[in-house]
Amino acid sequence: MANLVAFLTGAGISTDSGIPDYRGPQGVWTRDPDAEKLVTIDYYMADPEIRKRSWQMRHDTPALRAEPNSAHFAIAALHDSGVAMRVITQNIDGLHQKAGVPARKVLELHGSARTVVCTQCGDKTTLREAITRLDAGELDPACRICGGILKTATVMFGENLNQRTLLEATTVASACTVMYAVGTSLQVHPAAGLVGVAAEHGAKIVIVNAEPTPYDETADEVVREPIGTALPRLLSQLSDSAGSIDANQ
């Protein structure tokens, strides 16, 4: 993976797409700390009322209607230019893929909100199907196969990350020559620790985030400009110099 460019992206990269972040000044958890219960596995599994509120949140989420913004497209353009790259994302919105980054090059650490899974039998359906059931009056839809509790295929608070995905992400962090941490508070581990892994293996660290992060002192460059304008500018020089670098590396 010579000259590998890695991206670690968080909620901040999707705010220009109309999806609110979580820990910023106007973030979801900042404005309503109690809302964390809606995505905490113990509360979710134990309390039907929490599940109903959580499903309503999914029903109303702008993520289903969201489109990629200039930052997502800048990363996709870098891929198209021939630069070897991988995206490690904490986001569950699927916008990197929608922008044109091949799914095989996107590691979704926290899963996907576009898929629904049964916590009992593992059957998978789509979020759109669940929303159709919500619209029909099912406030807490159960699995149609076994009657088990359904949840989105996301990693809730209290759940472990998929170990295979985390291992792949760690491998990318160890091998990359530069890592861009974009729109992430770098407070949630183990995702945040990937910046430290990359730095320990000699990668250049560039942090693009509106607020300070715990890794700012580790970074080679910290950018506070709006992500939608800063990231395309930062990546344009990489695209211009891609040359014959093999995009399949």
Please identify which of the residues 59, 72, 110, 189 carries the catalytic annotation.
Answer: 110
At 134-156, the pLDDT tens digits run 999 999 999 999 999 999 999 99
Query: Please, which residues bridge with residue 126 across strands?
Result: 115
pLDDT band at 245 (very low <50, low <70, confident <90, very high): very low
pLDDT of res. 1: 43
pLDDT band at 32 (very low <50, low <70, confident <90, very high): low
What b/e sequence results for 34-61 when a residue is b if at least 16 CB atoms lie within 10 Å of its CB, and e otherwise?
ebebbbbeebbeeeeebbebbbeebeeb
At 43-95, the pLDDT tens digits run 999 999 999 999 998 898 777 788 999 999 999 999 999 999 999 999 999 99
What structural domains does the chain harbor?
Answer: 1-19+68-110+161-249 (3.40.50.1220), 25-60+112-154 (3.30.1600.10)
Instruction: List, in order, residues 6 or more apart from 3 with CB less than 8 Å away.
Output: 83, 84, 177, 245, 249
At 123-134, the pLDDT tens digits run 999 999 999 999
pLDDT of res. 24: 56
Instruction: Return the number of other C-beta atoms located less than 10 Å from residue 167's C-beta.
Output: 12
Task: Return d(Cα 58, Cα 185) in angstroms, integer.
Answer: 23
CA 246 to chain centre: 26
Task: Return d(Cα 31, Cα 51) in angstroms, integer.
Answer: 20
Q: Give yes or no: 110 in active site.
A: yes
Task: Return d(Cα 63, Cα 89) in angstroms, integer.
Answer: 15
